[in-house]
Structure 1
Amino acid sequence: MFEFQFPWAFLFLVLPFIARYLLPARVQEDAALKVPDLNDWNSTSGSTQDNTASGIGWVVPALAWLALVFALARPVWLGEPIRLPAEGRDLMLAVDISGSMDTADMELNNRPVNRLEIVKHVLNDFINQREGDRLGLILFGSNAYLQAPLTFDRETVRTFMNEAALGLAGKQTAIGDAITLAAKRMRENPSDSQVIVLLTDGENTAGKVDPVRAAELASELGIKIYTIGLGAESMQVPSFFGSRTINPSRELNEGELQSIADLTSARFFRARNTEELSQIYDLIDELEPTERENKTYRPESGLFQWPLLAALLLGWVQLVLVRRGLS
């Protein structure tokens, strides 16, 4: 698409006519250079060569002026619109993969599965919805490891999450270290909105940093931490006398997770089954919405140099004509 960035520049086209009628013509007898008079144009006397020369003398400067005005109007060629990625939040997912995440107290498609399988299933949908966000992934057990730094590549984050293996980071739970690692990576990449979504099924049993202290440090950096406590409250297990009911989430420290969320002006959620976990991530998606405005830009190619070059060439032609007495 072709357009002019400064179309008002075409108003300058009338300047020669204004100057012609407002400024008196200066005629000096015996001058070395004769200025053409309007009468010369209207005169029917003279040779055909003189008439042709006079015509060229007016046309070339007029074309040069027109080319200059075109260059001043700055013609550009606009390419096809290109969609820019929407600006969203920095969102770090911190997921517990300690030994207790192997507890099969959840159901998926009417079959019992362990907690980590449910987390993978629900996070796939959550990651899909975060278009425009930079996502990162931290997996933690006895130690915390950065699996994916903050990136717009959601497919990579999803792949690393689906490949997570139980016990890969150890059997214990280092919640404080996971928060500290997430906050450190976010501090290295500051943005206007930074969120950590931490999921665990236990309490802090390893690591060097107290979870509450880590949350205080994150709060000072302006980072929100949404905490999710995962695990059913009752589960049937076989016993010598048939089966008995136990609480598989007795090690979950809800008070600590609540404190972490409160310190960072966020919220604590309790997920007892697959449906609740899915609803929690949907709610977080509503509480921390992505920027949905579609922004585009059109690449521009400047063309002003071509009419400018034409004006210079016409000026050179006019100079040659003047020196040869043809203008």
Structure 2
Amino acid sequence: MIAFQWPWLALLLPLPFLLRWLLPAKFQAEQAALIVPFLDDFPGIEPRQVSPQRRWPLRLAGFAWIFLVIACTRPQWLGEPLELAVNGRDLMLAVDVSGSMDEKDFIIKDKRYDRLTATKYVVSDFVQRRIGDRIGLILFGTQAYLHVPLTFDRKTVQTLLNEAFIGITEDEPQTSIGDAIGLAVKRLQDEKNQSRVLILLTDGANTAGELAPLKAAEIAAQHHLKIYTIGIGADEMLVRSLFGTRRVNPSADLDEKTLKAIADTTGGRYFRARNTEELNQIYFILDQLEPVEKDKQFFRPKSELYYWPLALALALAGLLAGSRLRRS
């Protein structure tokens, strides 16, 4: 849409008419009477009228004035409103991609999937809802590394998370929970935002890395990093073998005690996700515990248009000046 920065300047439009009314021009007959005082003695002579051909300079000047006033009001073209990134949280996601995440004990739409696929399915929706937060992604197995640095680009985080796969960090099926926490602290400690959150999801225990999980949690607490831990994996699963069907616990290696201690040390909370529904519910709870900013800010890009009426006014003024020079 078109808007005007200073619309009140449109009040200048009638200024030439006011000047005409306050300072009336002298007629040609009166000017002639000054030269020939006895002009009234010749009744057959009428004052000379202005021909229509000579009125076009006045009209030209009128249009030039109108365009000049329009330019002074500073017309602008306003684009579509764009949502600005608000000052939300620095939120880091740490996802376990060790070999144990390949266990197919999650069901999505009546089909059985591995734990990492279920995580992608739920976390992608969670990331999409985090408007205003800067989100980063850490993948950890035998080693922990930063997969996505902090960014407002939620689409990129979703894409790179969906591209992750089992064993992307190392071929060995080990888990370095402490190193993942340490890496999150390192990436967040220099950030100015005071609201820092780490959501750590794993299905096992710390079996690799140089930093112990509880020591890493103490360091995180010193840097005001709140950690929410999620233990993922079903409690029991039916397995068929040559000796029949038996029940097993696919989450036997899950170290819930350590995960609870990590959350308690940093002021966070521990969650247990045994199926897709529980995992999805956990992330909705996280939305309530760490709500997004409600006050959205918008920006409308502006394109200046004043130079078009200004150029027309100058062009008409140039034509008017040229015609007067030619007549003189």
Shorter-chain TM-score tier: 0.7 to 0.9
Q: Distance in 1 between matches of 2:20 and 2:168?
A: 90
Q: Distance in 2 between matches of 1:102 and 1:57?
A: 85
**Residues 15-45 of structure 1: per-residue CA shift (max 9 Å, x gap):** 34555566xx6xxxxxxxxxxx623268661
Q: 2:277 aligns with which of 275, 278, 296?
A: 275
Q: Is the 8 A contact 1:235 1:245 kept in 2?
A: yes
Report how far residue 10 of structure 1 moved. 0.7
Q: Distance in 2 between matches of 1:105 and 1:131?
A: 31
* Alignment-mate amino acid for residue 69 of structure 1: V
The equivalent residue for 2:40 is none
**Residues 221-278 of structure 1: per-residue CA shift (max 9 Å, x gap):** 5543211122344566789997876655454333432333234433211223343222
Q: Look up the SS of the partner of 1:202 in the other structure.
A: coil
**Residues 150-195 of structure 1: per-residue CA shift (max 9 Å, x gap):** 4425366345445411485332221121122233334576657543
The equivalent residue for 1:165 is 166
Q: Is the 8 A contact 1:203 1:252 kept in 2?
A: yes
Q: Distance in 2 between matches of 1:91 and 1:210?
A: 22
For residues 101-180 of structure 1, the aligned pairs below 5 Å read 101-103=101-103, 106=106, 114-130=114-130, 133-151=133-151, 152-154=153-155, 157-158=158-159, 160-161=161-162, 163-166=164-167, 168-169=169-170, 170-180=172-182
* Alignment-mate amino acid for residue 13 of structure 1: L
Q: Distance in 1 between matches of 2:108 and 2:319?
A: 83
* Alignment-mate amino acid for residue 38 of structure 1: A
Q: Distance in 1 between matches of 2:222 and 2:62?
A: 68
**1:92 is the counterpart of 2:79:** no
Aligned residues: 310
The equivalent residue for 2:13 is 13
Q: Distance in 2 between matches of 1:47 and 1:178?
A: 94
**1:38 is the counterpart of 2:25:** yes
Unaligned runs of 5+ in 1: 26-36
For residues 218-257 of structure 1, the aligned pairs below 5 Å read 218-234=220-236, 248-257=250-259
Tell me: CA distance 1:171–1:315, structure 2 relative to 1, closer, same or farther (3 Å): same
Q: Distance in 2 between matches of 1:96 and 1:322?
A: 84
Report how far residue 113 of structure 1 moved. 5.6
The equivalent residue for 1:300 is 302
The equivalent residue for 2:71 is 71
Tell me: CA distance 1:71–1:249, structure 2 relative to 1, closer, same or farther (3 Å): same
The equivalent residue for 1:34 is none
Unaligned runs of 5+ in 2: 31-45
> TM-score of the superposition, structure 1-length normalised?
0.72
> TM-score of the superposition, structure 2-length normalised?
0.72
Q: Alignment RMSD, CA only?
A: 4.1
